């Protein structure tokens, strides 16, 4: 994970300490982004402007893999409709 900035790895570790069994990538991503400097947010993908759906870039795939190694929780990228139906928003 040498290509992921240390401050982001530290924030992932912090978020994992209270996120318990949450497996929703968007929820975890929001928590990670709240705790990192704004200039590091450029590493994360943005929503599609029309559909508002999230997508994963290579950086995020590496973070999801790191999170699973750290916690054993496999993060899932759910659609906006799935998150609304499951009250994850």
pTM, two decimals, is: 0.86
Q: Given CA atoms 30, 36, 42, 22 in this order, what sign does their dihedral have?
A: negative
pLDDT in tens, 35-66: 999 999 999 998 878 887 888 999 999 999 99
Confidence of residue 87 (pLDDT cuts 50, 70, 90): low
- The Cβ-side half-sphere exposure at 62, using a 13 Å CA radius, reads 13
Tokens of 43: 């590493």
pLDDT in tens, 70-83: 999 999 998 888 87
- The Cβ-side half-sphere exposure at 76, using a 13 Å CA radius, reads 10
- Report which of 45, 48, 35 is spatially closest to residue 9, judged by C-alpha positions: 35
């Amino acid at each position: 994970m040498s290509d992921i900035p240390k401050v982001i790895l530290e924030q992932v570790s912090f978020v994992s300490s209270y996120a318990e069994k949450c497996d929703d990538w968007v929820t975890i991503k929001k928590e990670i982004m709240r705790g990192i400097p704004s200039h590091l947010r450029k590493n994360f993908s943005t929503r599609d402007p029309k559909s508002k759906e999230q997508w994963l870039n290579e950086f995020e795939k590496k973070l999801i893999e790191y999170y699973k190694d750290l916690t054993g929780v496999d993060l899932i990228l759910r659609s906006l409709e799935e998150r609304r139906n499951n009250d994850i928003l």
